[in-house]
A = this chain, B = another copy of it.
Amino acid sequence: MKAEPARTEIPGELRLEMHARLLRVRIASRRLAELYREQEMRTPAHFGLGQEAVAVGVVTALRPGDVVYSHHRAHNHYLASGGSVYELAAELYGREAGCSRGRGGSAHLTAQAVGFIASTAILGETIAIATGSALAFSMRGERRLAVSFFGEAACEEGIFYESINYAAIRRLPVLYVCENNLYSTESPLSVRQPAGTELCERARSFKLKAERVDGNDLAAVYEASARLADGLRRGEGPAFLECMTYRWLEHVGPHFDHEAGRTYRSREEVESWMQRCPVKRSAAEIIRLGVADEAALAALSNGITRDVEDAVKRARAADPPPQGDLYADVW
């Protein structure tokens, strides 16, 4: 990981805004994971606890008109984009008020109004789709960016290379964000990448600009994203950002590994990463810089918690899709 540059250049206001967004993602995700245990949300859900800074840091570097795509672990990206907690919760509960009207579930989210276009459940798919949206922007001369969030396992799928090759040939404005959390389900990197692999090197061999950052460092993610987004808007061609991070919970579902008796990661490893909690780190930095004090942050957190609570309650109480609509919207 690179040495961290001084970051006083991020205005305090923006830091606070990002932190608020981070808190919202964290608090909503955590609450949803809690509720998920009740078995009322019948949709396989991949929670992103621990990885929130990636989504927030990247999305903060975007502008209106830019679009975001995500993968199976989509909640963070949806929420960071400004997607409604109520609609997300309703989606998980399988309600008509869900962002996808209960049809797609956890892995198929959409919030077009805030630029979050879609997530899909099969690895690698949205990497190409984001590239295609960038193609549309490029063909129409629009200065918009497409962002594709995916896990490092998607870099095992051929579609990733087909896509970045294409984006590089046509200098498309796509930011490929790889959230490297070291595992694919329960498989460590060692069974999936040759020793010594640098994904950035791969991206560079396709002529992408590439950077690697500490994905738990909100400011670092934001700065790298802003830098790369600048280049993208100047037409310098696609970029790749690898964010090193870690998922706290099991691959799918609400439990910690140890609760579920899973042994592929040691408890020490999980806990050491939890020490590097992106929310705590962001809070500490904000306090250190004097942007806000502990009390202000607590108030912020409390407000969000109340909003989230209200949203999930309403979502749970919302109506399911009418059975007569089974065939609606097939095409």
Binding site for B on A (CB under 8 A): 156-162, 165, 168-169, 191-198, 201-202, 204-207, 237
Contacts and interface: CB of A to CB of B under 8 A. Distances in A.
A125 to B, nearest CB: 12
B157 A169 contact: no
Contact of A205 (B168, B202, B237): B202
B207 A205 contact: no
Contact of A165 (B162, B169, B193, B195): B193
Give the number of times this chain occurs in the complex, counting copies.
2
Contacts of A197: 205-207
12 contacts: A156-B165, A157-B158, A158-B159, A158-B160, A160-B161, A161-B161, A169-B191, A169-B192, A194-B206, A198-B205, A201-B205, A202-B206
Nearest to A169: B194
Contacts of A202: 202, 205-206
A319 to B, nearest CB: 43
A253 to B, nearest CB: 28
Nearest to A199: B205
A237 to B, nearest CB: 8
A205 B240 CA distance: 15
A62 to B, nearest CB: 24
Contacts of A165: 156, 192-194
Contacts of A158: 157-162
Given A205-B205, A207-B195, A157 B168 contact: no
A143 B202 CA distance: 30
A206 B201 CA distance: 9
Nearest to A158: B158
A107 B158 CA distance: 24
